[in-house]
Structure 1
Amino acid sequence: MNEHDRLTRRLAAMLSEAQDAVPPATDVMTPFRRRYAQARRRRVRTLAVACAVMVVAATVLVGAAWAPGSRRPADLAGPPAGGDDKIQVWTLRSQSRLPALHACAAEFSRGADIEVDIASHPNQRYQQQLREALTSTDPPDIFFHWGGGGMAEMVREKQVLDLTRALRARPEVASAFAPEVLAGGRVDGRQYGLPASGVEPVMLFYNRRVFAQADLRPPETYTDLLALVDAFKARGIDPLALAGADGWSELMYLMYLVDRIGGPRPFADIAAGRPGAWSHPAVLQAARMARELVERGAFGRDFTTLRYDDGGSSGRLASGQAAMQLMGSWEYALQLTLDPDFVRDGDLGWVPFPAVPGGAGDPANVVGVPGSYYSVSSASLDAEQAVDVLFSLLTCDRYVDALLRGGEVPAVTDVPARAAGTPHEEFIRSTHRLAAAAPSLTLAWDQALSPTAGAALNANLRRLFALEFTAEQFAAAMNEAR
């Protein structure tokens, strides 16, 4: 079994657990009501537009058997289904990806005579904004998300378009993606998301210059990490940068500690919804260890005020105010934006999260994101065009090259070969190796769980790290979350 096969099986199992954690869907009529309301709001403008609507309505009735991704027959020519000649794309704000997305969108627009409007959003409130948009009368046609339980819930709520038939009609699109990452966009065997990036494991980043000046080495065990906390604190350096205003950044410590202590089983029970699963001994011990890090001064005094999107924690790592930061592989790309010289001078280092002595978990296990995804809204009035735009954007060479130039792992079939000779080959190869060699790859918990449970998790983590919750109180609060 090769690396791709192993990774595919792990990702499939991980996604299955995430889907099982999501509650049943609500009223199946919701998307039809949204679609009707959206059409009414957009179209009741002028008599000319009203006439166009009647033409479009007739076109839709005649073309009811259309398969997404196929071309509209010539005898059905006319205005696009949406009537606005515009496809709206929601994505995250990213210095490395946005210029390429805009360039690819402009290239598509010239050939298709339709405008592709790319709206970028900060990470901080994106999930909440997306949930609100998908239940509104004007959802985006194409949108970015992290897959997992959130995508499974969107599928069950009939909010996303099934892309399976469209991909069968365009096999060259599916074959462009790495199978293990493409699999993460499936729910119950059907394809609903296409990869925006490859696997993004969480790892321990560190400032090599700060370590060299202190004559210290990155940790291999958790005992080593605690010793480093004390050593850097004594030198007036924050041992670990942490964006404590964001619960998801604190979650990385809990996820790895639980896995290192108890292996993947404790969270598998949580994802399966087993009663009292949050009170597993491994979870309680990990929560206590997280509190001990805070009490030990591992994160400095004002970490609860820092936000990741503002570059607060990453800026401290680059400037030498902090020695380390536990973060997803996207940290590399962010540092290239915030302080390019920090990366180019070789001062940014990275290692796996350390082993916990006596723990049952394999030190090679990884937590993170199996890939980020784009989907098409089921309420899109230009579904055919939206699918074509999606296929074009994500297979655009400029987009893939931009990911590589930005130090990100693309979701292509042969990452090592594509990375060869690029400025960030070392990081891309090591990131890919870390994920491919992991015996267990666990999806970030706030993405694996339902959006409601994920939000509760991040909120309760902020209270745990603020020392407002004991480990037992945290577990009790999460046992009540749904």
Structure 2
Amino acid sequence: MSATTSRRSLLALALSAPLVGTALAACGDSGPAGSSGSGGGGGGAATIWILTGQPAEGIRTDSVNAFNKANPDSKLTVSTYQNDAFKTKIRTAIGANQSPTIIWTWGGGGLRDYVKNGQVEDLTSFFADNAALKDKLFASAFGAATVDDKIYAVPCENVSPIVMFYNKKLFQQVGAELPTTWDDVMALVPKFNAAGIAPFSLGGQSRWTNMMWLEFLYDRIGGSELFDSIYQGKPDAWSHPDSITALTKVQDLVKAKGFINGFASITADSNADQALLYSGKAAMMLHGAWTYSSMKSDGGDFVTGGNLAWSSFPTVTGGKGDPTDTVGNPSSYYALSSKASDEAKTAAKKFLAEGLVTDATVKAWVESGAVPIVNGSDSEFSGSDDADWLKFIYDTASGAKVFQQSWDQALSPTQAETLLDNIEKLFGLAITPEEFAKNMNATLAG
């Protein structure tokens, strides 16, 4: 899966991208999606819609085919859609009570809306009956699947935390050590600037890339409770002193010229930010784990030659956050339509319990260069050229006490768009931290 596909499918297109037309880019559509046989509002066989894009599409399709072969009386009909088309189609289908039986969701705010409108099943009892499945999955992946202490989706597939990347050659060039604290980060900024090297690469035009800095600073300074109070809609939560401190530190970094000149016009979808790191124009980059594979394929010997280093986000002196906490994409999720027929629900639950997370799918995700959200999947890493990297991601995700879902997914679509707009202004120094907090507090009403 490319860096762009991973990010777009798991974050940006989930909530903040504009709606497109209803034309469906269905690749190998196996059934009349949205028809009375969809397993949504009417009866009929169970259905599942999945996203296109290899290698993920192949892994998803193979898992359904294997299940159907083993369960000829409980088959699922699968349809495939590109990201934009799916996003439009699923909203229309759910609104008309014609959704697929198994609903792909990114969890967080979108899932919360489904729950509020009674469109998805409470799967808490499902997991009580399938405790072995729950125990198999990373505990940190369930946060984005949980609403009001009840589980409404099955975590699945792979994990992508946000990682701090470093160009080791540039660190050697200026005689610097990798940072472990925020003070270290700020001390490195003038050192790299003096050498004519941008301290950090950033594709700021994409906005969600800027957001990653706030996600980590809020956690490291205020602990996971800080964003949780925002997620729960606590009045004036964005104005908490720890929030203002985090917002101020971001602007301190901008004012110190911590990011490459012109970062606001650089896009992440073009992978231009990654190129700045591996080409030696920037020393550091905060980005998703999905960028590793594209840097490996596009960056010459940058990765294979041992010039890439990585770590978790640095600690902040005096902060309340747990250094094991991480942010990003805890997993993908499948919910169950509450409007499906009993027959379809039974088949779907059987697939979710037995066909979604298998030895074959775990092996396939690892071979694709991804880390499955399955405890013990690290046993598949031996012999891989990327074993150290995969182990780091596995340990980060499985060991995180809190794996905060990216904010533009965790919040409602309306809140997410306001957030991204204000983050752009914050990084552009067009608003103060206090103005940012005031603007975001307005989204908490109701």
How much does 1:178 deviate? 4.1
Whichever residue aligns with residue 237 of structure 1, its letter is I
Matches within 5 A, 1:51-450: 80-81=44-45, 87-91=47-51, 95-108=54-67, 112=72, 115-121=77-83, 131=91, 134-135=94-95, 139-163=99-123, 173-174=133-134, 176-179=136-139, 181=141, 185-188=145-148, 190-197=150-157, 200-336=160-296, 338-339=298-299, 341-379=301-339, 383-388=345-350, 390=352, 394-438=356-400, 440-450=402-412
**Paired residues of 2:130 and 2:353 also in contact (CA < 8 A):** no
Residues 81 and 262 of structure 1, relative CA distance in 2, 3 Å threshold: closer
Whichever residue aligns with residue 42 of structure 1, its letter is S
Residues 95 and 297 of structure 1, relative CA distance in 2, 3 Å threshold: farther
Unaligned ranges ≥5, structure 1: 1-38, 44-51, 61-79
Higher gyration radius (CA): 1
How much does 1:477 deviate? 0.3
Residues 324 and 131 of structure 1, relative CA distance in 2, 3 Å threshold: farther
Residues 166 and 284 of structure 1, relative CA distance in 2, 3 Å threshold: closer
How much does 1:480 deviate? 0.3
Asked whether 1:469 is paired with 2:431, we answer: yes
**Paired residues of 1:332 and 1:407 also in contact (CA < 8 A):** no
Whichever residue aligns with residue 474 of structure 1, its letter is F
Looking at structure 2, the residues matched to 257 and 481 of structure 1 have their Cα atoms a distance apart, in angstroms, of: 21
How much does 1:478 deviate? 0.3
Whichever residue aligns with residue 471 of structure 1, its letter is P
TM-score by length of 1: 0.71
How much does 1:258 deviate? 2.5
Looking at structure 2, the residues matched to 414 and 239 of structure 1 have their Cα atoms a distance apart, in angstroms, of: 37
Looking at structure 2, the residues matched to 207 and 326 of structure 1 have their Cα atoms a distance apart, in angstroms, of: 12
Residues 401 and 355 of structure 1, relative CA distance in 2, 3 Å threshold: same
Percent identity reads 32
**Paired residues of 2:222 and 2:320 also in contact (CA < 8 A):** yes
Residues 305 and 256 of structure 1, relative CA distance in 2, 3 Å threshold: same
Looking at structure 1, the residues matched to 53 and 388 of structure 2 have their Cα atoms a distance apart, in angstroms, of: 22
Looking at structure 1, the residues matched to 297 and 354 of structure 2 have their Cα atoms a distance apart, in angstroms, of: 26
Match of 2:441 in 1: 479
**Paired residues of 1:291 and 1:465 also in contact (CA < 8 A):** yes
Residues 415-456 of structure 1 show CA distances to partners (whole Å, capped at 9, x for unaligned) of 333333433321232233334555554443333333332332
TM-score by length of 2: 0.76
Looking at structure 2, the residues matched to 197 and 110 of structure 1 have their Cα atoms a distance apart, in angstroms, of: 21
**Paired residues of 2:328 and 2:406 also in contact (CA < 8 A):** yes
Unaligned ranges ≥5, structure 2: 1-31
Residues 374 and 424 of structure 1, relative CA distance in 2, 3 Å threshold: farther
Q: Per the alignment, in what secondary structure is the counterpart of residue 210 of structure 2?
A: helix
Q: Following TM superposition, where does structure 1 have runs of at least 4 consecutive aligned residues deviating by more than 6 angstroms?
A: 125-129, 168-172
Q: Per the alignment, in what secondary structure is the counterpart of residue 282 of structure 1?
A: helix
**RMSD between superposed Cα atoms in Å:** 3.7
Match of 2:29 in 1: none
Residues 179-235 of structure 1 show CA distances to partners (whole Å, capped at 9, x for unaligned) of 553575344555422222455432211222333344332211222212323333334
Looking at structure 2, the residues matched to 365 and 321 of structure 1 have their Cα atoms a distance apart, in angstroms, of: 30
Match of 2:35 in 1: 42
